[in-house]
Structure 1
Amino acid sequence: MLDRRTLVAGAMTLAAFGTCAQAQDYKASYPELVFAKVPDENASGTTDRWTPFVDYLSRQLGVKVTLRIANDYAAVVEGQRAGNIHIAMYGPASYARAYVTGAKIEPFAIEVSGDGTKGYYSVLYVKADTPYKDLKDLAGKNLCLVDPNSTSGNNVPRYAMNKMGIDPETFFSKIVYAGSHENAVIGVQQGTCDAAFNWWNDEKESNLLRMARKNMAKAEDFRIIFKSDLIVNSPMAYLTTLPESLKAALRNAVLNVATNDPAAFNAIYEGKQLPFVAVTHKEYEPVVELIKFVDELRKKKRAS
């Protein structure tokens, strides 16, 4: 005869078996996951920065996680649309672009700046010894942008310039898409461009300061002549089609990496940022509207 304790014990055993089976199911269905990173710095720098994190994910999830460094921002977007990139770390505009073009994705973690804010800025660099004081002093000069899908390196600058009544294609002598934030700074350093847009967190961290730590540039050689309004920080997103057990395991691993593997976390941010926290799509709705606005500007320009 079955008594209540026997039934409860049996139910608990079945529940535990079901949870275990579900976890094993994702390992069987997804023996390898692809984690992609947009090329905001050179490939070797991105590899050094993110490989310890990817190795950590492999250990936590119990499956192989492969790091893919895209050639450009669009490659990450297309990879997620095709379902070939399971997890991606990119700027807000790249996430928004993937979302509006039909990628089945969901943001689940967001970067936190060293001062505790969940935002950063687009800034415009010029050489420190030049006379330029603001953006309007650059009429007829050459401008370095980063990538069409870069938030701080293209979309926010174009939005800001539109508000100032500036049409970049006619205002500047030449616009160069440098391909990465580092390359945009190097463009100014080498004289290819007179100014370059870039990302900037605070006085203690920016792409320029990272480059200075790698002896790629001297921070004192540059000066900021424009700073945008606060932009929501970069998200990490996964495919919504992944099993719930896998998504839960990913969230747990990423949100706790700073505690579980401080070395892997610090390899990414060099002690300049705080641990990831949870995020949802709602926080990125303003960025979705931003890229739609920039798209409309392009359409109007082509039609005129």
Structure 2
Amino acid sequence: MKLRHSIGLASFIGLALAGPTLAMDARFKDANGDMVADAPTDAKQWMDPATLVFAYTPVEDPAVYAPVWAPFLDHLSKVTGKKVQFFPVQSNAAQLEAMRAGRLHVSGFNTGSNPIAVNCAGFVPFAMMASKDNRFGYEMEIITFPGSGIEKIEDIKGKRMAFTSETSNSGFKAPSALLRQQFKMEAGKDFTPVFSGKHDNSILGVANKDYPAAAIANSVKGRMESRGVVKPEQTKVIFKSGTFPTTGYGHVYNLKPELAEKVKQAFFTFKWEGTTMEAEFNKGQPPQEKFMPITYKQHWAVVREIDQAMNVSYACK
């Protein structure tokens, strides 16, 4: 499979482009400058729920992931002493609203949703899946199907292109920045954008020839291929980006501090070997075999730069 384009992010994102102020919601405070909301100083504002609600980012059918996450959620329950409930969110918007409203306590937000979750919903990311030697991330790919007539990015002109949702980094924001900055192609003018809702919908749509092209996360495609949901020969890659951080895991800012520390402890003491987590998430490259510590300020810098180039606002709607 020959890639017609494979470049780093900096070559198609104008890092100095003017954009909106990516400001945190007024109800949050960031006294230490780490770019995430501080825990309230008033103990009356802390959350100490009897049942912790956990959600995985809705990149694929939630029903697939409830049993996958079961061993980790059992471990989370033992470490925190709380009951833990898996919340099968159907959309990024539902996930963000649930945390903002106090109904979601621990979660994994996808790459593109992390900044919005941090600034609008009080999300505090602290972990990311990685290999045992701390390799992590995924690439955005623009894919088509063999025989589509699309051999390079410019061939998308006049055709439909599938995105996932407007909050997705690889499913919308990064490819939109690429098309606009490097190829001078605007949605609605040079091609017709359609939104599938999820990466698996976009991948299946291309594999089944419903969409001529789509922007997707190759980590999702790799897992779908390993399960036999799609075959590698059903899709063709015409663009591959540099590496992005993957799903960030964390807790809501006003979780009781002692409980928040136990949540972190659960992530970093979970043993992956022999579990459904290992079986599902170590199929890609790099394999995902543990949770590694991260900071939003450092690991999401490139995503914030894309958001500025795209004039993305973190204001709550």
Q: Bigger relative contact order, structure 1 or 2, given CA contacts below 8 A and separation 6+?
A: 2
1:31 aligns with 2:47: no
1:285 aligned partner, one-letter code: A
Query: Residues 110 and 233 of structure 1 are in contact (CA less than 8 Å); yes or no, is this contact kept in structure 2?
Result: yes
Give the equivalent residue in structure 2 for 1:213: 226
Query: Residues 108 and 278 of structure 1 are in contact (CA less than 8 Å); yes or no, is this contact kept in structure 2?
Result: yes
For structure 1, which segment, 241-250 or 126-135, has the greater mean C-alpha deviation from structure 2 after superposition? 126-135
Give the equivalent residue in structure 1 for 2:290: 275
Q: TM-score, normalised by structure 2?
A: 0.76
Indicate how the Cα distance of structure 1 residues 86 and 243 shifts in structure 2: closer, same or farther if over 3 A, else same.
same
1:202-281 map, 5 Å = 206-258=219-271, 262-270=274-282, 272-281=287-296
Query: Residues 54 and 107 of structure 2 are in contact (CA less than 8 Å); yes or no, is this contact kept in structure 1?
Result: yes
Give the equivalent residue in structure 2 for 1:51: 70
1:236 aligned partner, one-letter code: Y
Q: How many residues align?
A: 262
Give the equivalent residue in structure 1 for 2:215: 197
Indicate how the Cα distance of structure 1 residues 289 and 80 shifts in structure 2: closer, same or farther if over 3 A, else same.
farther
Query: 1:51-102 deviations in whole A, cap 9, x for unaligned?
Result: 332222112221111111212111111111112111111212111111232x
State the identity %. Answer: 26
Q: CA deviation at 1:121?
A: 0.9
The RMSD of aligned alpha carbons is 2.2
Query: 1:163-222 deviations in whole A, cap 9, x for unaligned?
Result: 1211122111x322111111101111222210111112xxxxx32232123221111221
Indicate how the Cα distance of structure 1 residues 296 and 228 shifts in structure 2: closer, same or farther if over 3 A, else same.
same
Indicate how the Cα distance of structure 1 residues 156 and 221 shifts in structure 2: closer, same or farther if over 3 A, else same.
same
Indicate how the Cα distance of structure 1 residues 264 and 250 shifts in structure 2: closer, same or farther if over 3 A, else same.
farther
- Structure 1 segments unaligned to the other structure (5+ residues): 1-27, 201-205, 298-304
Give the equivalent residue in structure 1 for 2:126: 108
Give the equivalent residue in structure 2 for 1:98: 117
C-alpha distance in 1 between matches for 2:282 and 2:128: 17
User: Which protein is bigger by CA-based radius of gyration?
Assistant: 1
Query: Residues 50 and 268 of structure 1 are in contact (CA less than 8 Å); yes or no, is this contact kept in structure 2?
Result: no
Query: Residues 124 and 195 of structure 1 are in contact (CA less than 8 Å); yes or no, is this contact kept in structure 2?
Result: yes
- Structure 2 segments unaligned to the other structure (5+ residues): 1-46
Indicate how the Cα distance of structure 1 residues 213 and 290 shifts in structure 2: closer, same or farther if over 3 A, else same.
same
C-alpha distance in 2 between matches for 1:94 and 1:187: 23
Larger helix share, 1 or 2: 1
Q: TM-score, normalised by structure 1?
A: 0.79
